[in-house]
Amino acid sequence: MKRLFASIHDVSPRFEREVDQLLAHLHPHVGKRLAMLVVPDHWGAAPLTPAFKARLRDWSDRGIEMFVHGWYHRDTAAHAGAAAFKARHMTAGEGEFLGLDYAEALARMQHGKALVEDTIGRGAAGFIAPAWLYSDDARRALGDAGFALAEDHARVWQPRGRIVARGPVITWASRSRARQLSSLAAAAVLRRALQPARHVRIAVHPGDTRVPALMTSIDRTFAAFRDHAPAAYADLLA
């Protein structure tokens, strides 16, 4: 069976209106068969409020999977070498786990897991680092944090087990005109290239809602994979 995994990133009180827009926009394509990536305190300025926690629990009760998505979603580390290139070109200061050592990565993972699970009343689906970027220590910490699944740009895996899905995530960038155009071109290519793929992942972000061309591309991308059944990440563990 061909499967489609949809996710909304950066779920936070800071982006509540945009999350609602994305939910409505994706509903014709996947219904509630999607994942939300929850940021416990976006940039240290948007902690989960009681009202937003109630919404997360309701969404979870309706079948939406909840992933822990870092803690702050902000990268404050100094980088060198390959990590510096990733920090500069693959994200706008949001690769929170790219520069963390083992102890700090594990602490943030554990605190995020406890908060999200206490909020929704069930286990978190897994952990996905902001911008899909991990230090080597952060990848090692995943194995001790107790998450069932983790994801990066190229794969989904069990932190203490096997790789359960491979292939690039289809996603969009909204922060500059150049990045918008490049992500539109990449999505158009991947819509064709990934047709034979058994597993396809599509990720959307709050910023996408502010760019009509991106929203149109998102619709076209979901439509291109009608023969892929909307699935839960947990299905990869079956």
Give the torsion sign (CA, 53, 56, 58, 61).
Answer: negative
- Decide: 102 and 137 in contact? Cβ < 8 Å: yes
pLDDT band for position 74 (50/70/90)?
A: confident
Strand partners, 163: 157
Range list of H helices, 72-211:
81-89, 102-120, 136-145, 177-193
pLDDT band at 92 (very low <50, low <70, confident <90, very high): low
Q: Which amino acid is at 16?
A: E
Locate 147 and state its tokens.
Answer: 């998450």
CATH architecture under which domain 3-237 falls: Alpha-Beta Barrel (3.20)
Per-domain residue ranges for the chain? 3-237
Mean pLDDT for 182-194 is 98
Cβ–Cβ under 8 Å, residues 163 and 193: no
Q: What is the mean pLDDT of residues 15-37?
A: 98
Structure tokens at 88: 């500069």
pTM, to two decimals: 0.92
pLDDT at 136: 95
Q: What does the pLDDT read at residue 182?
A: 97
Model confidence at 140, pLDDT cuts 50, 70, 90, reads very high
